[in-house]
Structure 1
Amino acid sequence: MRLVVISIGRLKQGPERELSERYRERFDDLGRKLGFRGLDIHEIPESRARDASTRMTEEAAAISAATPQKSVLVALDERGDNLDSVGFARHLGRWRDEQVANTIFAIGGADGLSPDLRRKANLRMAFGAATWPHQMVRVMLLEQVYRAATILAGHPYHRA
Protein backbone atom coordinates (compact mmCIF):
# COMPACT_ATOMS: atom_id res chain seq x y z
CA MET A 1 0.00 0.00 0.00
CA ARG A 2 1.28 3.42 -0.92
CA LEU A 3 0.55 6.33 1.41
CA VAL A 4 0.11 9.78 -0.12
CA VAL A 5 -0.31 13.08 1.69
CA ILE A 6 -2.11 15.58 -0.53
CA SER A 7 -1.75 18.99 1.03
CA ILE A 8 -3.06 22.38 0.01
CA GLY A 9 -0.19 24.83 0.28
CA ARG A 10 3.55 24.37 0.19
CA LEU A 11 5.99 24.06 3.03
CA LYS A 12 8.77 26.59 2.74
CA GLN A 13 12.30 25.78 3.79
CA GLY A 14 12.51 25.69 7.55
CA PRO A 15 11.90 23.55 10.59
CA GLU A 16 8.48 22.27 9.51
CA ARG A 17 9.87 20.98 6.19
CA GLU A 18 12.90 19.46 7.91
CA LEU A 19 10.78 17.69 10.51
CA SER A 20 8.29 16.47 7.89
CA GLU A 21 11.11 15.05 5.81
CA ARG A 22 12.68 13.38 8.84
CA TYR A 23 9.47 11.49 9.66
CA ARG A 24 8.86 10.63 6.00
CA GLU A 25 12.35 9.15 5.70
CA ARG A 26 11.97 7.22 8.96
CA PHE A 27 8.70 5.77 7.72
CA ASP A 28 10.21 4.79 4.37
CA ASP A 29 12.98 2.83 6.08
CA LEU A 30 10.59 0.91 8.34
CA GLY A 31 7.48 0.92 6.15
CA ARG A 32 8.97 -1.10 3.31
CA LYS A 33 9.73 -3.92 5.76
CA LEU A 34 6.05 -3.85 6.78
CA GLY A 35 4.63 -4.06 3.26
CA PHE A 36 4.12 -0.35 2.59
CA ARG A 37 5.30 0.90 -0.80
CA GLY A 38 6.28 4.37 0.30
CA LEU A 39 5.03 7.71 1.50
CA ASP A 40 4.67 10.51 -1.00
CA ILE A 41 3.77 14.14 -0.48
CA HIS A 42 1.84 16.01 -3.15
CA GLU A 43 1.52 19.77 -2.65
CA ILE A 44 -1.28 21.65 -4.37
CA PRO A 45 -1.23 25.44 -4.63
CA GLU A 46 -3.91 27.28 -2.67
CA SER A 47 -6.88 28.52 -4.67
CA ARG A 48 -6.89 32.24 -5.36
CA ALA A 49 -10.69 32.51 -5.46
CA ARG A 50 -12.16 35.42 -3.53
CA ASP A 51 -14.69 33.55 -1.38
CA ALA A 52 -14.11 30.60 0.95
CA SER A 53 -16.73 28.34 -0.63
CA THR A 54 -15.22 28.65 -4.09
CA ARG A 55 -11.69 28.16 -2.69
CA MET A 56 -12.74 24.96 -0.92
CA THR A 57 -14.53 23.70 -4.05
CA GLU A 58 -11.52 24.37 -6.28
CA GLU A 59 -9.11 22.81 -3.77
CA ALA A 60 -11.37 19.74 -3.38
CA ALA A 61 -11.40 19.31 -7.16
CA ALA A 62 -7.60 19.41 -7.22
CA ILE A 63 -7.37 16.88 -4.36
CA SER A 64 -9.89 14.61 -6.10
CA ALA A 65 -7.98 14.84 -9.38
CA ALA A 66 -4.79 13.75 -7.58
CA THR A 67 -6.53 10.82 -5.85
CA PRO A 68 -6.33 7.49 -7.70
CA GLN A 69 -9.49 5.38 -8.11
CA LYS A 70 -10.23 2.86 -5.33
CA SER A 71 -8.15 4.67 -2.75
CA VAL A 72 -8.95 5.01 0.92
CA LEU A 73 -9.41 8.72 1.65
CA VAL A 74 -8.58 10.11 5.09
CA ALA A 75 -9.67 13.72 5.62
CA LEU A 76 -7.74 15.68 8.22
CA ASP A 77 -10.51 17.73 9.76
CA GLU A 78 -11.00 19.36 13.17
CA ARG A 79 -14.50 17.82 13.28
CA GLY A 80 -13.10 14.34 12.68
CA ASP A 81 -12.47 11.45 15.05
CA ASN A 82 -9.80 11.78 17.70
CA LEU A 83 -7.91 8.52 17.27
CA ASP A 84 -5.19 7.34 19.56
CA SER A 85 -1.98 6.14 17.95
CA VAL A 86 -2.78 2.44 18.38
CA GLY A 87 -6.21 2.90 16.77
CA PHE A 88 -4.64 4.77 13.87
CA ALA A 89 -2.06 1.98 13.45
CA ARG A 90 -4.90 -0.57 13.35
CA HIS A 91 -6.55 1.33 10.47
CA LEU A 92 -3.30 1.41 8.47
CA GLY A 93 -2.56 -2.23 9.21
CA ARG A 94 -6.08 -3.32 8.22
CA TRP A 95 -5.98 -1.36 4.95
CA ARG A 96 -2.55 -2.82 4.16
CA ASP A 97 -3.80 -6.34 4.93
CA GLU A 98 -6.88 -5.76 2.76
CA GLN A 99 -4.45 -4.83 -0.04
CA VAL A 100 -5.75 -1.32 -0.48
CA ALA A 101 -3.55 0.17 -3.21
CA ASN A 102 -3.42 3.74 -1.86
CA THR A 103 -4.31 5.55 1.31
CA ILE A 104 -4.67 9.26 0.67
CA PHE A 105 -4.45 11.81 3.50
CA ALA A 106 -6.06 15.13 2.51
CA ILE A 107 -5.00 18.30 4.31
CA GLY A 108 -7.03 21.36 3.38
CA GLY A 109 -5.97 24.96 3.08
CA ALA A 110 -6.85 27.91 5.29
CA ASP A 111 -10.59 27.29 4.88
CA GLY A 112 -10.39 23.54 5.47
CA LEU A 113 -11.78 20.79 3.28
CA SER A 114 -15.06 21.11 1.39
CA PRO A 115 -18.08 19.39 2.95
CA ASP A 116 -18.39 17.15 -0.13
CA LEU A 117 -14.80 15.94 0.20
CA ARG A 118 -15.26 15.34 3.93
CA ARG A 119 -18.37 13.24 3.20
CA LYS A 120 -16.47 11.14 0.64
CA ALA A 121 -13.73 10.33 3.15
CA ASN A 122 -13.48 6.81 4.54
CA LEU A 123 -12.12 8.30 7.76
CA ARG A 124 -12.21 11.83 9.14
CA MET A 125 -9.39 12.37 11.58
CA ALA A 126 -8.64 15.26 13.95
CA PHE A 127 -5.71 16.20 16.13
CA GLY A 128 -8.00 17.54 18.84
CA ALA A 129 -10.65 20.22 18.65
CA ALA A 130 -8.17 23.02 17.99
CA THR A 131 -7.58 24.47 14.54
CA TRP A 132 -4.00 23.86 13.42
CA PRO A 133 -2.03 25.44 10.56
CA HIS A 134 -1.71 23.01 7.66
CA GLN A 135 2.08 23.01 8.10
CA MET A 136 1.74 21.69 11.65
CA VAL A 137 -0.94 19.17 10.64
CA ARG A 138 1.46 17.74 8.08
CA VAL A 139 4.22 17.34 10.67
CA MET A 140 1.82 15.75 13.18
CA LEU A 141 0.37 13.43 10.53
CA LEU A 142 3.79 12.26 9.35
CA GLU A 143 4.88 11.63 12.93
CA GLN A 144 1.72 9.57 13.53
CA VAL A 145 2.27 7.60 10.32
CA TYR A 146 5.81 6.80 11.46
CA ARG A 147 4.55 5.97 14.96
CA ALA A 148 1.90 3.66 13.45
CA ALA A 149 4.64 1.81 11.56
CA THR A 150 6.63 1.39 14.77
CA ILE A 151 3.52 0.04 16.52
CA LEU A 152 2.89 -2.43 13.70
CA ALA A 153 6.56 -3.50 13.85
CA GLY A 154 6.61 -3.85 17.64
CA HIS A 155 9.36 -1.22 17.78
CA PRO A 156 9.91 0.52 21.15
CA TYR A 157 9.44 4.07 19.75
CA HIS A 158 5.81 4.01 20.89
CA ARG A 159 5.44 3.75 24.64
CA ALA A 160 1.91 3.78 25.99
Structure 2
Amino acid sequence: MRLLLASVGRLKAGAERDLVARYIERARASGRALGFGDVQMVEIAESSARRAEDRMAEEGTALLAACPPGALLVALDPRGRNLSSEDLATRMGQERDNGRAAMCLLIGGADGLSDAVRSRAGLLLAFGAATFPHQLVRVMLAEQLYRGMTILAGHPYHRA
Protein backbone atom coordinates (compact mmCIF):
# COMPACT_ATOMS: atom_id res chain seq x y z
CA MET A 1 0.00 0.00 0.00
CA ARG A 2 1.33 3.43 -0.96
CA LEU A 3 1.21 6.25 1.57
CA LEU A 4 0.83 9.79 0.30
CA LEU A 5 1.02 12.87 2.50
CA ALA A 6 -0.62 15.70 0.51
CA SER A 7 -0.67 19.20 1.94
CA VAL A 8 -1.49 22.71 0.88
CA GLY A 9 1.48 25.06 0.82
CA ARG A 10 5.18 24.60 0.35
CA LEU A 11 7.68 24.10 3.14
CA LYS A 12 10.69 26.35 2.83
CA ALA A 13 14.15 24.98 3.38
CA GLY A 14 14.79 24.60 7.07
CA ALA A 15 14.22 22.45 10.11
CA GLU A 16 10.61 21.51 9.35
CA ARG A 17 11.38 20.39 5.78
CA ASP A 18 14.39 18.42 7.02
CA LEU A 19 12.32 16.66 9.70
CA VAL A 20 9.52 15.76 7.29
CA ALA A 21 12.07 14.37 4.81
CA ARG A 22 13.80 12.39 7.57
CA TYR A 23 10.57 10.79 8.83
CA ILE A 24 9.32 10.02 5.34
CA GLU A 25 12.62 8.35 4.47
CA ARG A 26 12.50 6.33 7.70
CA ALA A 27 8.89 5.32 6.97
CA ARG A 28 9.90 4.25 3.44
CA ALA A 29 12.77 2.13 4.72
CA SER A 30 10.72 0.53 7.51
CA GLY A 31 7.62 0.09 5.37
CA ARG A 32 9.23 -1.97 2.62
CA ALA A 33 9.61 -4.99 4.89
CA LEU A 34 6.01 -4.58 6.07
CA GLY A 35 4.38 -4.61 2.66
CA PHE A 36 4.03 -0.87 2.25
CA GLY A 37 5.00 0.73 -1.02
CA ASP A 38 6.41 4.17 -1.44
CA VAL A 39 5.81 6.99 1.03
CA GLN A 40 5.56 10.34 -0.73
CA MET A 41 4.93 13.96 0.08
CA VAL A 42 3.01 16.14 -2.38
CA GLU A 43 2.72 19.89 -1.93
CA ILE A 44 -0.30 21.67 -3.40
CA ALA A 45 -0.07 25.36 -4.27
CA GLU A 46 -2.11 27.69 -2.08
CA SER A 47 -5.09 29.22 -3.81
CA SER A 48 -5.03 32.95 -4.49
CA ALA A 49 -8.83 33.26 -4.51
CA ARG A 50 -10.18 36.19 -2.51
CA ARG A 51 -12.87 34.38 -0.53
CA ALA A 52 -12.03 31.65 1.98
CA GLU A 53 -14.74 29.37 0.58
CA ASP A 54 -13.26 29.66 -2.91
CA ARG A 55 -9.74 29.03 -1.62
CA MET A 56 -10.87 25.91 0.25
CA ALA A 57 -12.75 24.66 -2.82
CA GLU A 58 -9.77 25.16 -5.16
CA GLU A 59 -7.31 23.63 -2.72
CA GLY A 60 -9.68 20.75 -2.01
CA THR A 61 -10.02 19.96 -5.69
CA ALA A 62 -6.23 19.89 -6.03
CA LEU A 63 -5.82 17.70 -2.94
CA LEU A 64 -8.36 15.18 -4.19
CA ALA A 65 -6.73 15.16 -7.63
CA ALA A 66 -3.39 14.25 -6.01
CA CYS A 67 -4.85 11.07 -4.51
CA PRO A 68 -4.89 7.88 -6.54
CA PRO A 69 -8.27 6.27 -7.28
CA GLY A 70 -9.43 3.93 -4.53
CA ALA A 71 -7.19 5.47 -1.89
CA LEU A 72 -8.44 5.77 1.67
CA LEU A 73 -8.62 9.50 2.33
CA VAL A 74 -7.54 10.55 5.81
CA ALA A 75 -8.22 14.25 6.32
CA LEU A 76 -6.67 16.15 9.20
CA ASP A 77 -9.45 18.15 10.75
CA PRO A 78 -9.82 19.58 14.27
CA ARG A 79 -13.33 18.09 14.38
CA GLY A 80 -11.96 14.64 13.62
CA ARG A 81 -11.19 11.68 15.85
CA ASN A 82 -8.25 11.65 18.22
CA LEU A 83 -6.55 8.33 17.55
CA SER A 84 -3.66 6.92 19.51
CA SER A 85 -0.52 6.03 17.58
CA GLU A 86 -1.40 2.37 18.07
CA ASP A 87 -4.89 2.89 16.63
CA LEU A 88 -3.51 4.70 13.59
CA ALA A 89 -0.94 1.93 13.06
CA THR A 90 -3.70 -0.68 13.34
CA ARG A 91 -5.76 1.16 10.71
CA MET A 92 -2.74 1.35 8.40
CA GLY A 93 -2.16 -2.39 8.81
CA GLN A 94 -5.82 -3.24 8.26
CA GLU A 95 -6.01 -1.18 5.08
CA ARG A 96 -2.82 -2.83 3.79
CA ASP A 97 -4.09 -6.32 4.70
CA ASN A 98 -7.44 -5.65 3.01
CA GLY A 99 -5.66 -4.89 -0.25
CA ARG A 100 -6.05 -1.11 -0.25
CA ALA A 101 -3.73 0.31 -2.89
CA ALA A 102 -3.10 3.65 -1.18
CA MET A 103 -3.78 5.82 1.83
CA CYS A 104 -3.78 9.56 1.19
CA LEU A 105 -3.34 11.80 4.24
CA LEU A 106 -4.57 15.34 3.58
CA ILE A 107 -3.59 18.60 5.27
CA GLY A 108 -5.59 21.65 4.21
CA GLY A 109 -4.51 25.24 3.89
CA ALA A 110 -4.87 28.12 6.34
CA ASP A 111 -8.65 28.15 5.88
CA GLY A 112 -9.01 24.40 6.43
CA LEU A 113 -10.50 21.70 4.24
CA SER A 114 -13.51 22.04 1.99
CA ASP A 115 -16.72 20.15 2.75
CA ALA A 116 -16.07 18.13 -0.42
CA VAL A 117 -12.80 16.81 1.02
CA ARG A 118 -14.24 16.12 4.47
CA SER A 119 -17.24 14.29 3.02
CA ARG A 120 -15.03 12.05 0.84
CA ALA A 121 -12.67 11.20 3.68
CA GLY A 122 -12.91 7.74 5.16
CA LEU A 123 -11.35 9.08 8.34
CA LEU A 124 -11.25 12.57 9.85
CA LEU A 125 -8.20 12.69 12.10
CA ALA A 126 -7.40 15.32 14.73
CA PHE A 127 -4.21 15.99 16.66
CA GLY A 128 -6.14 17.27 19.66
CA ALA A 129 -8.01 20.48 20.33
CA ALA A 130 -5.00 22.77 20.03
CA THR A 131 -4.20 24.63 16.82
CA PHE A 132 -0.78 23.93 15.32
CA PRO A 133 1.12 25.61 12.49
CA HIS A 134 0.77 23.70 9.23
CA GLN A 135 4.52 23.15 9.09
CA LEU A 136 4.47 21.36 12.44
CA VAL A 137 1.39 19.32 11.51
CA ARG A 138 3.31 17.98 8.53
CA VAL A 139 6.21 17.02 10.78
CA MET A 140 3.85 15.39 13.28
CA LEU A 141 1.99 13.45 10.59
CA ALA A 142 5.20 12.24 8.92
CA GLU A 143 6.46 11.12 12.34
CA GLN A 144 3.20 9.27 13.00
CA LEU A 145 3.59 7.39 9.70
CA TYR A 146 7.07 6.32 10.76
CA ARG A 147 5.86 5.49 14.27
CA GLY A 148 3.05 3.43 12.77
CA MET A 149 5.61 1.40 10.84
CA THR A 150 7.65 0.79 13.97
CA ILE A 151 4.55 -0.27 15.90
CA LEU A 152 3.56 -2.73 13.18
CA ALA A 153 7.14 -4.08 13.11
CA GLY A 154 7.34 -4.42 16.90
CA HIS A 155 10.34 -2.05 16.92
CA PRO A 156 11.28 -0.46 20.25
CA TYR A 157 11.08 3.12 18.84
CA HIS A 158 7.52 3.22 20.14
CA ARG A 159 7.33 2.71 23.87
CA ALA A 160 3.84 2.92 25.29
- Which residue does the alignment assign to 2:65? 65
| Structure 1 residue 89 displacement after superposition | 0.4
* 3-state secondary structure, aligned to 1:31: helix
- Which residue does the alignment assign to 1:32? 32
| Structure 1 residue 69 displacement after superposition | 1.2
| Structure 1 residue 48 displacement after superposition | 0.3
Say yes or no: does 1:146 pair with 2:136: no
CA distance in 1, matches of 2:64, 2:88: 23
CA distance in 2, matches of 1:55, 1:15: 27
- 1:51 maps to a residue whose letter is R
CA distance in 1, matches of 2:144, 2:64: 23
- Which residue does the alignment assign to 1:111? 111
CA distance in 2, matches of 1:124, 1:50: 27
Residue pairs, 1:23-102, within 5 angstroms:
23-102=23-102
- 1:95 maps to a residue whose letter is E
CA distance in 2, matches of 1:133, 1:108: 11
Q: May I ask how many residue pairs the two structures share in their alignment?
A: 160
Measured against aligned partners, the alpha-carbon deviations of 1:85-137 in whole angstroms (never above 9, x if no partner) come to 00000000000001100100010000010122111100000110112221111
Residue pairs, 1:6-21, within 5 angstroms:
6-21=6-21
TM-score for both structures, normalised by structure 2: 0.98
CA distance in 1, matches of 2:143, 2:95: 19
* RMSD between superposed Cα atoms in Å: 0.7
CA distance in 2, matches of 1:131, 1:119: 22
* 3-state secondary structure, aligned to 2:33: helix
CA distance in 2, matches of 1:28, 1:12: 22
Where do 5+ consecutive residues of structure 2 fail to align?
Answer: none
- 1:115 maps to a residue whose letter is D
Where do 5+ consecutive residues of structure 1 fail to align?
Answer: none
| Structure 1 residue 144 displacement after superposition | 0.5
TM-score for both structures, normalised by structure 1: 0.98
* 3-state secondary structure, aligned to 1:68: coil
